[in-house]
A and B are shown apart, each in its own frame.
Chain A
């Protein structure tokens, strides 16, 4: 599929990134870098209580501050019908609190001042009369009969239940469990964690009174969707709103929702007629923006005595915080794509039921590279598989080998209603075992145990489900989940590609150029990729859930092929040949059997403006909106090796082997970088990341001193990555998307390794994060002494 270009890079190359030039010079353009004449700054007053009635707010002292220009409260917004906004999950969320505050850190007032220091000073001048209410922090308590109703703002809400959901065949699964020789059941928590991108969230709003146009620079992973929602929420005409996602310093799902700060800054700019900036602090980011996970799960597997899976059953309690600000790919998917949980195994029956609840914690849930809850699903399956292996006395690798879907069954129709797009899971597993030298590892472990060292090996095999999504199955806030690409070739043969997805570090300016290069023979260096500005790009649904390559990349391929079709017509005209006699070779069209009669893409492009066929319009451009026929299913096999310090309980990840199959790789270097980053996040999740509260809902760690993300010292010396390449059966490029596979597959690999290390003491499960103090407790309970 890759086409030779005369000079420069193309599809499949390890091409250094085009966007790097500005970042390495410190000339990236992030939201906080924006400085406009007359720009004001803002700060948000946040609730110190997790649950409290608001009896009054006195902003007079703040208004008296000489540098304060405005103070906005929930009451002010209420008058404009803006105190509440819709969420992507079909719920409502307070922009600024009116009746109550429902989580610690909730937005209560918005101060606009001349500079950021004064805005923060002014926060201390606002007085709020709070009346504390009982708090729900521990998720199961949300279902207590006497639990306070958190969302009493909604007339129909009489408890804390958001949804109840089920999927699969309950009866068939029950029968499987009745008939099974062996069943295992494991409770586990996937704790609340946070994506914590290095750049926090923020926005600059600039309402131009003269043109009545609102320009918003936002840290947004989905600028077009945000524009439509902004139009609906504010009543401003959509064509008068321009949303620009400039450079974004990491997203990982944290930058998908619309945050109150964005709405407030837009209102402030409208009212004051000046640009207003809002940038949150790290504490605000960790306390109030979209968190991830917080799933309380029970996994069960039924198997025969040989270890073949007969059925999988799952029960989940899902904590969404005070508002259901979840990003879900459709009303029928309140659990995202959690139903993928039978994963890469050939399970004849499966069933899941789930309840979603409110709590007095920050709103959200879908974030942190989770592919719409696939992280939770795979973690649950992989942990329960290991419990089953332990129950059967079987090597966890052998148990997986027995149950992995054989390649011949692809495209596989899962009992959960998904059609997988190809995959040889055994090959991926074998490759991981080879890189790890699994037998040698087992030997090493044996020796280590004899020496009294605690070493563990953990395996995780999985399939992902990404690339949302087909219109027959998915929508987000009602919008179909297509994506788009608009391509124009200039007379001098260079090109500009405008896309609807949104990079936050994924390298789209390079990879998408490589796609066009592969299709049209134009060097990737000559293809300029634009994204992020709703005025200048076609409508797209943004980047999250690893959808850029599956959906956006497909659109780029399709539009390139459309252009190639027109190019053929022009070539036929130039060569005075019939279209049917032409073939596409090496970046140009030539007469079949007569390679001397040839036109290069560059010549064709020039002709599109200077010598067009009589019945053709001038120009060489096209647009494609791609509706994916199915999701894509990248998969992998991971192996983690750990050693535990008997004295301190510290877990050291000594090796991490990751074999990923994301189909055809557009730029292998970029794929590897993505995998490395996700693996580091997975280790963070497994060992040290957790958002913690006390019983009153007070945050215990809303800063980087105590919310621990890995430094260069906590990751293994080398990420041992490998690949298999099984092209996607339906994607135009055979590609699948990959960025979330590492966060999906790795936490289980790490936890499985630690549990394996502790298995001589009868340990079957330990909940994340595997803090040293927790591991130490287990060691001492089992009389493992440091000396």
Chain B
């Protein structure tokens, strides 16, 4: 089936099987490997992208479902060399170690801050409860998101020093 998806602001087209998962469309067909996968049962959230502005687990969505819709991946969060405040926050507050869960965390957090610019710690903790991390113990991830919230709107881009 021919599908057309708006990915990170660009229209992308391809012929795909209906069973192709969105995460594989993004990674294998489009070559955007920043979106990861880490489980078989929709638990880990490493595959989180935005579908029509909402964070979803792309391993549990068919690529054909995204036909005619908008997808934003981690590659679409930074603009060229510049980083979003959230990305900066993760660096400032050591919100990552191996980096595997990080794109998913950033996509979830970006959506959170877009809807709730000043979330409480509890709200942040709950918002990322569908994103598993094995390295950080979560505290510095939460601090990273708090840093970004404190420094302004989530989609503002600032140049990394």
Contact = CB atoms under 8 A, between A and B. Distances in A.
Contacts of B19: 117
Nearest to A670: B94
Best-buried of A678, A712, A719 by chain B (most CB within 10 Å): A712
Contacts of B78: 24-25
A196 B138 CA distance: 16
Contacts of A35: 28, 31, 33
Contact of A199 (B17, B27, B34, B100): B100
Given A20-B91, A680-B134, A712-B126, 7 more contacts: A24-B78, A35-B31, A282-B41, A703-B41, A703-B43, A704-B43, A712-B131
A20 B99 CA distance: 8
B92 A16 contact: yes
6 closest Cβ contacts across the A-B interface?
A26-B34, A505-B98, A23-B99, A249-B100, A676-B137, A26-B74
A238 interface: no
Nearest to A711: B129
Contacts of B40: 281-283, 703-704
Interface string B123-143: 001101111111111111110
B83 interface: yes
Nearest to B141: A712
Contacts of B14: none
Interface string B87-126: 1001110101111111100100000000000000100011
A196 B98 CA distance: 13
A677 B134 contact: yes
Interface residues of A, number: 60
A129 interface: no
B126 to A, nearest CB: 7
A247 interface: yes
Given A26-B103, A680-B138, A250 B90 contact: no
7 contacts: A25-B77, A26-B73, A35-B31, A247-B99, A677-B134, A712-B129, A713-B126
A250 B134 contact: yes
Interface in B62-90: 73-75, 77-78, 83, 87, 90
A411 B23 CA distance: 54
Interface string A277-299: 00001110000000000000000
B22 interface: no
Nearest to A197: B134
A23 B126 CA distance: 23
Contacts of B96: 20, 23-24
Contact of B87 (A25, A197, A198, A505): A25
B24 to A, nearest CB: 8
Nearest to B101: A198
Interface string A681-724: 10000000000000000000001110001011101011100000
B86 to A, nearest CB: 8
Given A117-B17, A247-B99, A715 B134 contact: no
A705 B38 CA distance: 12
Contacts of A197: 98, 100, 134
Contact of A709 (B75, B100, B132): B132
B69 to A, nearest CB: 20
Contact of B135 (A28, A30, A505): A505
B34 A27 contact: yes
A504 B135 CA distance: 10
Contacts of A23: 96, 99, 102
Interface string A112-127: 0001110000000000
B159 interface: no
B149 interface: no
Contacts of A21: 91, 160
Contacts of B27: 32-33
A495 B138 CA distance: 34
A709 B74 CA distance: 25
Interface residues of B, number: 59
B34 A25 contact: yes
Contact of A30 (B20, B36, B73): B36
B35 interface: yes
Given A26-B34, A283-B40, A704-B39, A712 B138 contact: yes
A485 B17 CA distance: 49
B33 A705 contact: no
A17 interface: yes
Given A25-B78, A35-B31, A200-B38, A249 B132 contact: no
B125 to A, nearest CB: 5
Contacts of B51: none
Interface of B is mostly: loop
B41 A704 contact: yes
Best-buried of B24, B41, B125, B126 by chain A (most CB within 10 Å): B41
Contacts of B136: 673, 676-677, 680
A561 B132 CA distance: 42
B125 A249 contact: no
B44 interface: yes
A506 interface: yes
A680 B39 CA distance: 19
A703 B39 contact: yes
A780 B101 CA distance: 40
Nearest to B104: A198
A249 B140 contact: no
B7 interface: no
A713 B134 contact: no
A713 B35 contact: no
B5 interface: no
B139 A719 contact: yes
Given A117-B17, A198-B133, A719-B137, A712 B97 contact: no
A681 B134 contact: yes
A116 B35 CA distance: 17
Contact of A33 (B33, B90, B92): B33
A492 B19 CA distance: 55
Given A24-B102, A33-B33, A198-B44, A16 B91 contact: yes
Contacts of B20: 117
A198 B132 contact: yes
A198 B134 contact: yes
B39 A282 contact: yes
Contacts of B99: 19-20, 22-24, 28, 247, 249, 505
B119 to A, nearest CB: 13
A198 B94 contact: no
Contacts of A20: 90-91, 96, 99
A715 B138 contact: yes
Given A16-B92, A35-B31, A198 B103 contact: no
A30 B100 contact: yes
A250 B135 contact: yes
B91 A713 contact: no
Contacts of B100: 28, 30, 197-199, 249-250
Contacts of A672: 94, 140
A507 interface: yes
Interface string A194-206: 0111111000000
A177 to B, nearest CB: 40
Contacts of B73: 26
A428 to B, nearest CB: 20
Nearest to B124: A712
A669 interface: yes
Contacts of A195: 134
A24 B90 contact: yes
A141 B22 CA distance: 47
Nearest to B89: A24
